[in-house]
Amino acid sequence: MAPLNTYQTSVVAFLDISGLKEAAQKSLEKPELANEIESMLSGLQSQCAELNKREQWGPEIPNLKARAFSDSIILTCPLASDNPTALDNALRKIAVIASAYQMEVAVHDFFMRGAITVGLHCDRGDVCFGPALIEAYEAERQLANWPRVIVLPKALDLRAHGRHPYLTRDDAGITYVDYLLLCTMNLLFQSDDPEKRQAGLHPFSWLSLIEKHKTALEMAVKTLNADSPQFLITLSKYHSLAHYHNQYLRQVMRGGKDFPLIELLELVLSHQEGMTKDRMTSEISKVTHSFSEIDERQKDCLIDMRTIFAPLRYRGSRRNI
């Protein structure tokens, strides 16, 4: 039996980047592609280092570790204590880095899915193993279904008083990270200095990100091989992702008090030093006003589901007759 101190209770994520294996094969003929893959994978370490410096998510935030190999990513965040708040904060931290990386691989024409859980895990030096990692790996394969990072129920400690506006739930009851929402938040808090942030979220930075996400997804659908045995399965996954993209964008355009971004803003701003109720109201007002100014351009970021998917569905159904 392994010594008891081998394992530490941790929040663990297993992430899989679809299409990376095929890209690695193509890189033998395209050296620039190999450089792109290396840059994309190595960038994860710097993102984690930057996030570990931040203090936006409250107390008891342990350091986050990241490992990348082949098309797989492992994220580990050990719990600083058995306090439910520690679990809440570690979950937020992994959700933030997973969502940022999910968007980064998307704009490089890759898509990522994964699973987050909490349990016993060992991550020391070159050694990384444990029951939590196995559970996250199996959940990614069996439950994620389309490019998203799901969160297993045990990671959502009901004893914790924390809120989870950065998570959403599908009709089957599966909870997953709202990565477009968190990427929006990441743009807002690129600087810890309120003066440098000035009016908060720059609307055109956000629009550019959403436009890139739309373009990458539409291109992935258009280049699908209708003769592949996995064609309809892959098409269905992209359809679910496109639906999520449009759903989020419509939430932004509707706005209102029920929009999760407002609750997430309140959560993050409440941890900032010297934050008053009036100042928080002012910051949130600036963000909502920024979105209202670009309403028409937001509509252009919606994916036309009929135009993009209908012809391919027809081709796939004819192939199987």
Q: What is the pLDDT of residue 223?
A: 87
Token duo for residue 38: 């290396």
Give residue 41's domain range. Answer: 1-177
**27 lies in the same domain as 151:** yes
**202 lies in the same domain as 112:** no
**138 lies in the same domain as 210:** no
Give the total number of structural domains in the chain: 2
- CA 41, CA 294: separation in Å to the nearest integer? 33
With 0-12 / 13-18 / 19 or more C-beta atoms within 10 angstroms meaning exposed / middle / buried, residue 118 is buried
- What is the three-class DSSP state of 101? helix
For the chain, what's the residue count?
A: 321
**170 lies in the same domain as 194:** no
pLDDT at 214 > cutoff 90:
yes
pLDDT at 209 > cutoff 60:
yes
Q: Is 145 left (phi over 0), alpha (psi -120 to 50) or beta?
A: left
Task: Give the CA radius of gyration of the chain.
Answer: 20
Q: Is the Cα torsion angle 305, 306, 311, 316 positive or negative in sign?
A: positive
**276 lies in the same domain as 189:** yes
pLDDT band at 74 (very low <50, low <70, confident <90, very high): very high
**167 lies in the same domain as 187:** no
Measuring CA to CA, which residue among 106, 101, 104, 78 is closest to residue 8? Answer: 78
Q: What is the pLDDT of residue 192?
A: 47
Last residue of a domain, one of 159, 177, 195: 177
* 149-151 vs 175-177, strand pairing mode: antiparallel
**288 lies in the same domain as 237:** yes
pLDDT band at 131 (very low <50, low <70, confident <90, very high): very high
- CA 225, CA 234: separation in Å to the nearest integer? 10
Q: What is the pLDDT of residue 320?
A: 42
**185 lies in the same domain as 173:** no
Q: What is the pLDDT of residue 319?
A: 44
Exposure class string for 33-55: b at 16+ Cβ within 10 A, else e: eeeebeebbeebeebbeebeeee
**185 lies in the same domain as 43:** no
**100 lies in the same domain as 224:** no
- Phi then psi for residue 70, to 5 deg, are 50, -125
pLDDT digits (tens, 9 = 90+) for 301-321: 999 998 888 765 555 444 443
- Which region among 57-61, 86-90, 172-176, 231-235 has the lowest average model confidence (pLDDT)? 57-61
pLDDT digits (tens, 9 = 90+) for 241-299: 999 999 998 888 776 666 777 777 777 777 666 778 888 888 777 777 766 666 677 88
At 74, which CATH number? 3.30.70.1230
What's the rounded mean pLDDT across residues 120-124?
89
Measuring CA to CA, which residue among 191, 168, 297 is closest to residue 243? Answer: 168
Q: Is 6 left (phi over 0), alpha (psi -120 to 50) or beta?
A: alpha
